[in-house]
């Protein structure tokens, strides 16, 4: 079967590869329609590794996917052939202690698409557990379905924040996950969200959304803006979505006393922050690793019209142009939020 294969760092090819397509009793087979290009896919391409995950043998890329069910296993009740679906790319050990606790995203045995050595889904067909496959309502497009995965990260952040209606939020970093987090925070009850970055084009895209207020930190310090907008009190919830160690300098200046800091962006190096500043405000610190139990919520919010992710799809490439899509993504153009790849019909 054809697939977009990362042969090794810096080398992609569109070629045939053997992938298992046997449908187990609890599985469904899916004809892939749309796959989003994620920063992690691009990082494996450009660096060959993320932390301890190292690409040691050829790996199919792609984990943000939507498609159509083409076969169902004998035990599957929730899906049928022809259903339009999106898929949760991480499958835990269903008997693990983490899964029993409902925190299957941190199961040490989780198998996650396009994370070495597990193949991704930039290929025409895939087999996946029905329990991790979600039906798309008629008014949710395949493009939106393929955005459910990154949006679920935002929802995980909003959930971990335990937002109270009317809260003021701040998101540091206006990349795709930062924007998803801002939208999730609004959907989760924030009255308004300030989002900061150095890049004016990125901020302009985020600023299209009512309730999202861009802050260009090349013009004014974020702490100054937050102080002014909250009468010196600070934000109820601050989401760190840049992954930059520099974001931690003075970060507790923007959290209100008793407020919450949610860590999403993963810094490459060991990062320090001011513990005393956190303690003085009795700030609560939460962390986010992917998501658990948020795919269905993401689909529901998109279907309801409360969250519109369509403006975030910057360009769509045919599968045959997959390598071009990755080379474009690797450039990291500030006007690109999400690039997607569509399989031949």
Residue of 121, 5, 118, 107 whose CA lies nearest to 53: 118
Minimum distance from residue 150 beta carbon to Zn ion (Å): 5
| 111 strand-pairing partners | 91
Closer of 15 and 47 to Zn ion (Cβ): 47
Minimum distance from residue 114 beta carbon to Zn ion (Å): 8
Residue of 146, 9, 130 whose CA lies nearest to 65: 146
**Distance between CA atoms of 14 and 164, rounded to whole angstroms?**
48
Stretch that binds Zn ion, among 37-45, 116-124, 229-237, 287-295 (CB under 5 A): 37-45
Closer of 112 and 248 to Zn ion (Cβ): 112
Stretch that binds Zn ion, among 38-46, 158-166, 268-276, 292-300 (CB under 5 A): 38-46
Stretch that binds Zn ion, among 31-39, 244-252, 258-266, 315-323 (CB under 5 A): 31-39
Per DSSP, 39 falls in state H
SS3 content of the chain, % helix, strand, coil (to 5): 30, 30, 40
Pairing of strands 27-36, 125-129: antiparallel
Closer of 38 and 55 to Zn ion (Cβ): 38
Closest-by-Cβ residue to Zn ion is: 38
CB-CB contact of 66 with 146 (8 Å): yes
Closer of 252 and 291 to Zn ion (Cβ): 291
Stretch that binds Zn ion, among 32-40, 176-184, 202-210, 244-252 (CB under 5 A): 32-40
Closer of 150 and 259 to Zn ion (Cβ): 150
Q: Would you state the torsion angle of the CA atoms of residues 344, 148, 114, 50, taken in this order, to the nearest 10 degrees?
A: 140
By CB under 5 A, the count of residues binding Zn ion is 1
Site string for Zn ion, 209-248 (x = CB under 5 A): ----------------------------------------
Closer of 114 and 307 to Zn ion (Cβ): 114
**Distance between CA atoms of 298 and 301, rounded to whole angstroms?**
5
Closer of 65 and 190 to Zn ion (Cβ): 65
**Distance between CA atoms of 82 and 30, rounded to whole angstroms?**
9
Site string for Zn ion, 54-83 (x = CB under 5 A): ------------------------------
Phi, psi of 303 (to 5 degrees): -65, -35
Closer of 38 and 147 to Zn ion (Cβ): 38
> Is residue 38 a contact point for Zn ion (CB under 5 A)?
yes
Minimum distance from residue 36 beta carbon to Zn ion (Å): 7
DSSP string, 170-233: EEE--SHHHHHHHHHHHHTT-SEEEEEES-HHHHHHHTTSTTEEEEETTTS-HHHHHHHHTTTS
Cα–Cα–Cα angle for 233, 234, 238, rounded to 5 degrees: 160
Minimum distance from residue 40 beta carbon to Zn ion (Å): 5
Contacts to Zn ion from residues 296-315, by CB under 5 A: none
Minimum distance from residue 341 beta carbon to Zn ion (Å): 13
Minimum distance from residue 216 beta carbon to Zn ion (Å): 26
Binding interface with Zn ion (CB under 5 A): 38
């Amino acid at each position: 079967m054809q697939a977009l294969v990362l042969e090794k760092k810096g080398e992609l090819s569109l070629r045939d590869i053997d992938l298992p397509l046997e449908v187990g009793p609890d599985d469904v087979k899916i004809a892939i329609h749309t796959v989003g290009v994620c920063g992690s896919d691009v990082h494996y391409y450009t660096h060959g590794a993320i932390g301890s995950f190292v690409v040691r043998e050829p790996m199919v890329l792609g984990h943000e996917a939507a498609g159509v069910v083409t076969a169902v296993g004998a035990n599957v009740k929730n899906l049928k052939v022809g259903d339009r679906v999106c898929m949760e790319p991480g499958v835990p050990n269903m008997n693990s202690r983490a899964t029993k606790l409902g925190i299957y995203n941190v199961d040490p045995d989780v198998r996650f698409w396009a994370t070495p050595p597990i193949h991704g889904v930039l290929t025409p067909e895939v087999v996946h557990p029905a329990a991790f496959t979600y039906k798309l309502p008629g008014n949710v497009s395949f493009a939106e379905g393929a955005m459910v995965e990154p949006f679920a990260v935002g929802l995980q952040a909003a959930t971990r924040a335990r937002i109270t209606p009317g809260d003021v939020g701040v998101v540091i970093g206006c990349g795709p996950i930062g924007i998803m987090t801002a939208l999730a925070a609004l959907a989760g009850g924030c009255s308004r969200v300030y989002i900061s970055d150095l890049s004016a084009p990125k901020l302009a895209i985020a600023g299209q959304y009512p309730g999202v207020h861009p802050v260009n930190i090349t013009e004014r310090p974020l702490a100054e803006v937050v102080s002014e907008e909250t009468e010196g009190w600070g934000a109820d919830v601050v989401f760190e979505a840049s992954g930059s160690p520099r974001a931690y300098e003075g970060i507790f200046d923007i959290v209100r006393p008793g407020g919450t800091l949610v860590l999403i962006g993963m810094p490459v190096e060991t990062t320090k922050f001011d513990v005393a500043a956190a303690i003085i405000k009795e700030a609560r610190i939460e962390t986010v690793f992917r998501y658990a139990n948020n795919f269905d919520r993401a689909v529901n919010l998109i279907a309801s019209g409360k969250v519109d992710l369509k403006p975030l799809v910057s360009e769509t490439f045919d599968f045959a142009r997959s390598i071009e899509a990755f080379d474009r993504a690797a450039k990291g153009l500030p006007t690109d939020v999400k690039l997607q790849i569509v399989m031949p019909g």
